[in-house]
Structure 1
Amino acid sequence: MPVKDAPVSGVWAEFGRQLRHCRRRAGLTQHQLGLRLGYHHSLVSKWESGKRELPAGLVRRLEAELGAGGELSAIAAGAHGSPTGWPGGSPWDTASLFLPVPGGRQPDLIGPLTVDDWPAGLSTQGPRCPLHERVDCAVPGLGDTRALLAEMQRAAEDRLPVATDPETVHGLAGLLSAQARLSVGAPPTAALASSVERVLRSVVAWAEAVHLTGSFPTVQLRLAADYAQVAGRLRMERGQSAIAMAWFCHGLRWAQSADDDVARGILPTDLSTLARLDGDPTAALGYAQGIAAVDSGRGWIMTLTHAYQARAYAALGDGAETRRQVALARRRHAALTARDAAEAPWLCGVDGMTRVESTAGGALRDLAAATGDRATAREAARATAGALALLPPRLPLAELLLTVRLADCHACDGDPDAALAIIGPAIEGAIRARQMTISRELRGLEMRLAGRWGELRAVRGFRDRLRSLDT
């Protein structure tokens, strides 16, 4: 539920007074409390003056941080008569939290974990630890994680609650990190998608079991939101848009209920991409604009909203707005702060610049394809080549996608020879990837080459090679 300004009322004024008392008792300043929670101290001041109505998830975080022992929750619950009176539905409502998920609500067997590159700890590429909200937590070994998951599975089958043990949480986050690396390093197989979804259903069952004890499953829902994002992306890359949309929407609801602003900022980017791939740029623009609603004061949030708006405006053929959004995304990225680096390290530094330039290249290429403007095509080629130059070697699928896009930029610029020279060595890899985004790039390139230079022998050879490989 979005946090909103509220007039000073008896309930929220009392909440603010108790919050101030708890903060001082804990020996914290407003600035220190804000840093711990990831909010500006001016917001803490508004909370304490009763001018902000807080969502249930944030109240629980304050409780935990200040050791308030239920003092704050008891006051907040009276704001609307009961916890179920929160506008938009209570996060404690089982019906809204645990709607049926793809594959059913009951967990499947975890199955064997065959992960070659098991992490010793979480990485900056995500996910963050849902318990400690950091990326430097240690991960138990693969054998220990197997044992922890088996114990969690047995408890779920017997409908017994499982404690929120840090080792289990770290094992699940580490497993997702390993699965996410597999998803960007190799074609999105049905086996990998099934593996991610099996664990996800078990996490959801764990969250439901915790919920039935009367506790709110914040950590479990944050884990579920992160797993849902990876599951959705795997389904999207396999061309299964309906299941991908279901996972993204479930993940967004879980992130909202668990007060996970990082997941709330990332998941709409996937929804925007999915809408654009489905040929609905208007919906893609709506999702991209919605990213800013999470918190327009966060630099990484605004970098993402501008980058994805650029892609949507390009698909709509709006050149001026596309260029404006590209410029804003670059400007926001250049001004990211330490707070942005803590919340979204994957969007900072070289990795972040690669993402921004890749998105800019895609937007400008789409615009050039729609308008036939060769200068825009050259801008797109520069951005895409820049992203390729920055790309680390561990991302072969991203390299394939950018290579196909670079070839397409040259086709849009009226240079079929350069396009064919670039795509030639990458054709087989692009076909074998069986990835939706790469396939779309390849089809666009083929369409432009065949549309203008279909009679050239080299173009005919390119199309014959595509057909021979795509069997």
Structure 2
Amino acid sequence: MSVGTSPAVDAGWGEFGRLLRFHRRRAGLTQLQLGRRVGYHHSFISRLEGGLREPPFDLVNRLDAVLGAGGGLVALIASPPAAPCAPGLLPTAPTLFSPIPGGDAPDVDSPGVLSGDTPSLTAQPWPSRLPAEGLACPLHGRVGCATPDREAVTDLLAGLTGPYDRVGETAGAEAELLHGLTAVLACLIREAFGRASDACASTVERLLRGVARWAEAVNAGGRLPSGQLRLAAQYAQVAGRLRMERGQGGVAMAWFGHGLRWADAARDAEARATLLSDMSTLVRLDGDPASMLGYAQAIGAVDGKRRWMMTLADLYQARAYALGHDVAACRRHLSTARRRFARLDDRDRLEAPWLSGAEGVLRVESAVGGALRDLAVVTGDRAVARRAVEATARSYALLPPVMRSTRLLLTLRLADSWACAGDPVAAVTLAGPVLEEAVGARELMVAVELRGLHRRLAGRWGDLPEVREYRERARAVSE
């Protein structure tokens, strides 16, 4: 069936897609080049041109400007064939609010969210102010908003399951609910990433569906749901990460994609950059360096004046180039990332506190170590592998005790780097004490690191007594 006759293609978006293709070709750009300029993956540009997607809020102006369409793309979208929205509101198209993963699931069971159904969550320290766990207030940013008491949050959450025309009847009630939901997410992050929990992941997604329905109801009621969309993007990122850790890449990408659209609609550049980072990681785990590079370059296209975003873009591009066997490009981006990281200013530290101080060094050196290890794997260069050992060791030394999963992952990466550097005994000495934990771990990134280490040991050092003993133990643990 042709695109023009497919029932999945909306006639209005099909017309937009045809006009977009015309202007792109006239400008002499490929879909990949256009995607890089506007900060989207080329596959999304392809879907736009095919009429399969509604262009996200705020993207049409960028496309029009980049392609020199003279307002033609904006004019076409300004009068879509669907029922028009009130001025300043978002379109209620399915691509923004639905379908979302599990969208037909029951509503949030609000009394259980903070009570006996999730006992370990109640033990998490309750944040008295935002930001918490890097989460800013979706209404007021990082000014230091107070959160409601833990005891009051359960009653507030009941609003997500009640009549939506009564949710946040006043500005104060709406702010309290948004503050409370952000505090809950901060607790869920501590719970989920300190000790993986299916119940915790389920709670994140149930709350996320409630927030998305709330945003849709607010929009339909005549107001732009900026705060709800920013919060939904935060929840979507956590939901996607939890799914990604469990190897559920399809659902993870769906959550990241929704989060990206919600971030676009709310003009949340910070959320957009971090979501693209997660999407880049996900396609790397799927072994797709070309898509990883596209998402990494899109991070840099969000805002070239924010050094923290450009630092992330360079780090992710370095890993993509390493997987793509481009040694020069990988090294160039690693060098640039370190220079940019050293020049982060107060604005960068305010917007990305997780990329400042010791935590920032930990993250940067971890990414550098990963890229250098990947480069050593494809080139066989032991000098590069030794540099990977140094970077990963610097990152490992800064890990706080509570980051158990990250400690396990970096231990395996350090062992793999030693194997690439020609020292298999050091590799098995490091990996041996955590082997049982690594084999039993559910996190996808840990599994990927472990598989890589085992391939390197078996391929080069399989006859070494220490490696044979390690492999026999690994087989025994896996059975």
Calculate the TM-score normalised by the size of structure 1: 0.79
Partner of 1:117: 124
The structure 1 segments of at least 4 consecutive aligned residues displaced by more than 6 Å after TM superposition are 55-58
Q: Please state if 1:276 is matched with 2:275.
A: no
Code of the residue aligned with 1:462 in structure 2: it is Y
SS in 2 for 1:136: coil
Partner of 2:168: 162
SS in 2 for 1:148: helix
Partner of 1:172: 181
Alpha-carbon spacing, 1:377–1:359, altered in 2? closer, same or farther (3 Å): same
Alpha-carbon spacing, 1:350–1:84, altered in 2? closer, same or farther (3 Å): farther
Partner of 1:233: 241
Give the distance between the partners of 2:374 and 2:467, measured in 1 at CA.
21
CA shift for structure 1 position 210:
0.5
Alpha-carbon spacing, 1:84–1:465, altered in 2? closer, same or farther (3 Å): farther
Q: Please state if 1:314 is matched with 2:344.
A: no
SS in 1 for 2:163: helix
How many residue pairs get aligned? The number is 392
Partner of 1:329: 337
Code of the residue aligned with 2:113 in structure 1: it is P
CA shift for structure 1 position 83:
5.5
Alpha-carbon spacing, 1:401–1:123, altered in 2? closer, same or farther (3 Å): farther
SS in 1 for 2:437: helix
Partner of 1:153: 161
Q: Percent identity?
A: 52
**Are the equivalent residues in 1 in contact too, given 2:124–2:191 (CA < 8 A)?**
no
**Are the equivalent residues in 2 in contact too, given 1:317–1:370 (CA < 8 A)?**
yes
Task: Name whichever of 449-458 and 160-169 sits farther off.
Answer: 160-169
Partner of 1:292: 300
Q: For 1:415-460, what per-residue CA distance to the aligned partner results, in whole angstroms no more than 9, with x for missing partners?
A: 0111111112221222232100011001100110011111223222
Give the distance between the partners of 2:132 and 2:321, measured in 1 at CA.
30
SS in 1 for 2:281: helix
CA shift for structure 1 position 463:
2.1
Task: Name whichever of 456-465 and 322-331 sits farther off.
Answer: 456-465
CA shift for structure 1 position 123:
4.3
Partner of 2:103: 104
Code of the residue aligned with 1:213 in structure 2: it is G
CA shift for structure 1 position 118:
3.3
**Are the equivalent residues in 2 in contact too, given 1:124–1:345 (CA < 8 A)?**
no
Give the distance between the partners of 1:214 and 1:91, measured in 2 at CA.
7
Matches for 1:3-42 after TM superposition, within 5 Å: none
CA shift for structure 1 position 292:
1.0
Matches for 1:246-261 after TM superposition, within 5 Å: 246-261=254-269
CA shift for structure 1 position 217:
0.5
SS in 2 for 1:336: coil
Alpha-carbon spacing, 1:373–1:209, altered in 2? closer, same or farther (3 Å): same
Give the distance between the partners of 1:385 and 1:170, measured in 2 at CA.
38
CA shift for structure 1 position 57:
7.5
Give the distance between the partners of 2:57 and 2:457, measured in 1 at CA.
55
- Equivalent of 1:92 in 90, 93, 109: 90
Q: Please state if 1:264 is matched with 2:272.
A: yes
Q: Please state if 1:408 is matched with 2:408.
A: no
Code of the residue aligned with 2:258 in structure 1: it is H
**Are the equivalent residues in 2 in contact too, given 1:265–1:294 (CA < 8 A)?**
yes
Code of the residue aligned with 1:461 in structure 2: it is E
Partner of 1:140: 148
**Are the equivalent residues in 2 in contact too, given 1:449–1:459 (CA < 8 A)?**
yes
CA shift for structure 1 position 152:
2.8
Give the distance between the partners of 2:402 and 2:79, measured in 1 at CA.
47
Code of the residue aligned with 1:299 in structure 2: it is R
Matches for 1:46-61 after TM superposition, within 5 Å: none
Q: For 1:246-273, what per-residue CA distance to the aligned partner results, in whole angstroms no more than 9, with x for missing partners?
A: 0000000000000111101100111111
CA shift for structure 1 position 341:
1.2
CA shift for structure 1 position 230:
0.4
CA shift for structure 1 position 106:
6.3
SS in 2 for 1:145: helix
Give the distance between the partners of 1:160 and 1:213, measured in 2 at CA.
11
Q: For 1:316-359, what per-residue CA distance to the aligned partner results, in whole angstroms no more than 9, with x for missing partners?
A: 11111111111111111110011111111111111111111100
Q: Please state if 1:361 is matched with 2:362.
A: no
Alpha-carbon spacing, 1:81–1:101, altered in 2? closer, same or farther (3 Å): closer
CA shift for structure 1 position 196:
0.6
Code of the residue aligned with 1:361 in structure 2: it is G
Partner of 2:353: 345
SS in 1 for 2:113: coil
SS in 1 for 2:272: helix
Partner of 1:27: none
Cα RMSD (Å) of the superposition? 2.3
Q: Please state if 1:424 is matched with 2:432.
A: yes
Give the distance between the partners of 2:463 and 2:102, measured in 1 at CA.
49
Give the distance between the partners of 2:89 and 2:404, measured in 1 at CA.
40
Code of the residue aligned with 1:300 in structure 2: it is W
Runs of 5+ unmatched residues, structure 1: 1-54, 59-78
CA shift for structure 1 position 222:
0.4
Give the distance between the partners of 2:97 and 2:429, measured in 1 at CA.
52
CA shift for structure 1 position 387:
0.4
Give the distance between the partners of 1:292 and 1:286, measured in 2 at CA.
10
Runs of 5+ unmatched residues, structure 2: 1-55, 60-73
- Equivalent of 2:309 in 277, 287, 301: 301
